[in-house]
Amino acid sequence: MSTDTAARPVPRAGVLAVEAYVPGKSAVAPGVKLFKLSSNENPLGPSPKAAAAFAAAAAKLELYPDGAATRLREAIGKRYGIDPARIICGCGSDDLLSLLAYSYIGPGDEGIFTTHGFLIYRIAIQAAGGVPVVAPERDLTADVDAILARVTPRTRIVFLANPNNPTGTYLPFAEVRRLQAGLPPNVLLVLDAAYAEYVRNNDYSSGLELAATADNVVMTRTFSKIHGLAALRVGWAYAPAEVCDAMNRIRGAFNVNLPAIEAGIAAIEDRDHEDAAVAHNARWAAWLTEQLRGLGLAVVPSVGNFLLIGFPEAGPHTAAAADGALAARGLVLRAVASYGLPHHLRLTVGTAEANRLVVDTLRAFLADGARG
Ligand SMILES: *Cc1c(COP(=O)(O)O)cnc(C)c1O
């Protein structure tokens, strides 16, 4: 049907093919204490200094923020020893991923991501009018050769979450380098390092150095996870000057709000709080992995602040049944069928209380069905 004759406005081609992102659940039965373990939020909350900076911003809500987020970019630059002119901030890193797609993908252009890659990549590519191309993984981990095999003359972007959500797996830096070296120079490699701060493995790098030196590499980061500021929606990217220039032309003129800028500056300067969040996560991710494996569950090795837990495909102990048993105790996990993982649940590392309750609940759940 020609849109010239349509009875109402019709979205441009591709828009209605997008399946909207469904966030992690947050509701349980009334009267049950809620433990939201479905969105990889920080169980320690934000730095008290960030919360104070946010509260202080209430005194100047009539003011537009600095559209260039200059002080925030300077604080990030100082923290990581990088050039603030090549940092761009966004309304969450989701904003930056979309801006990258809109800047580099046109109708019919291809964007590559992996089978269980973060769902936002498909949405961003399709929203820009592009064609999503899925590269298979190996052992729930991105496979460099499979990605390179899917590059065509229409490829414009490769999105790689490293570590990946929801699997928790990662590519060592040598593999990321091999991927970059194998891509044509006109293909942008987007390294989504939303969980970089949590990774303690020596062979890992967020990609900061690669983004500093290569013309076709962008690294994105977020304040939503390690800094516990998901509500404020702040992310940043470190990119070649030409990429920043393109994104700066089309981004929202005030895409980071004033309280978010103030809280972000305080958060990035509070190393003690960041260290505490990393230490809490390392301790409890290891404990949860050990305990859940002890119950006979398959836990994918994770370097992030969440665990992907595998359940039996049939019988009384499926992922769906576990989800129900956990929810009855107020424990809300993330079902990941939309990621092609119908037999897994994703668990965010929570407070000590939440973590212990998850293990106790799953122990009872597994014992229950076993008795018949
Ligand atoms: C949580 C997450 C983000 C961060 O999104 P924001 O928009 O910054 O909150 C980005 N990428 C991945 C893979 C994530 O899991």
Q: How far is Cα of residue 322 from the mean position of the Cα atoms in its chain?
A: 24
Would you say residue 12 has pLDDT above 90?
no
Judged by average pLDDT, the poorest of 18-32, 121-135, 137-151 is: 18-32
Pick the residue whose CA is nearest to atom 10 on ligand 1: 194
Q: How confident is the model at residue 3 (pLDDT cuts 50, 70, 90)?
A: low
Ligand 1 near 323 CB (within 6 A): no
To which residue do tokens 């966004």 refer?
Answer: 90
Distance between Cα 100 and ligand 1 center (Å) = 15
Distance between Cα 190 and ligand 1 center (Å) = 13
Average pLDDT over residues 22-31: 75
The region, left, alpha or beta by phi > 0 then psi within -120 to 50, assigned to residue 84 is alpha
Domains of the chain by residue range: 26-45+272-369, 48-269
Common-topology check for domains 26-45+272-369 and 48-269: no
Do residues 123 and 7 make contact, with C-beta atoms less than 8 angstroms apart? Answer: no
Q: What is the torsional sign of CA 141, 106, 92, 219?
A: positive
Greater confidence (295 vs 16) lies with 295
Ligand 1 near 43 CB (within 6 A): no
Tens of pLDDT, residue by residue over 176-230, are 999 999 999 999 999 999 999 999 999 999 999 999 999 999 999 999 999 999 9
Q: Which atom of ligand 1 is closest in space to residue 118's alpha carbon?
A: 13
Q: How far is Cα of residue 63 from the mean position of the Cα atoms in its chain?
A: 30
CA–CA separation, 194 and 223 (whole Å): 8
CA–CA separation, 301 and 168 (whole Å): 7
Average pLDDT over residues 118-130: 95
**Which pLDDT value is given to residue 242?**
98
Q: Which atom of ligand 1 is closest in space to residue 224's alpha carbon?
A: 9
**The amino acid at 77:** G
Tens of pLDDT, residue by residue over 54-71, are 999 999 999 999 999 999
**Which pLDDT value is given to residue 28?**
73
% of the chain residues with pLDDT over 70: 97
Pick the residue whose CA is nearest to atom 2 on ligand 1: 194
CATH code for residues 48-269: 3.40.640.10
Average pLDDT over residues 351-362: 98
Q: Which atom of ligand 1 is closest in space to residue 235's alpha carbon?
A: 8
Among 89, 96, 114, 118, residue to substitute to test ligand 1 (most atoms within 8 Å of Cβ): 118
CATH code for residues 26-45+272-369: 3.90.1150.10
Q: Which atom of ligand 1 is closest in space to residue 95's alpha carbon?
A: 7
Q: What angle do CA 78, 81, 83 make, to 5 degrees?
A: 85
Pick the residue whose CA is nearest to atom 3 on ligand 1: 194
Average pLDDT over residues 347-352: 98
Average pLDDT over residues 232-248: 98
Q: How confident is the model at residue 372 (pLDDT cuts 50, 70, 90)?
A: very low
Ligand 1 near 118 CB (within 6 A): yes
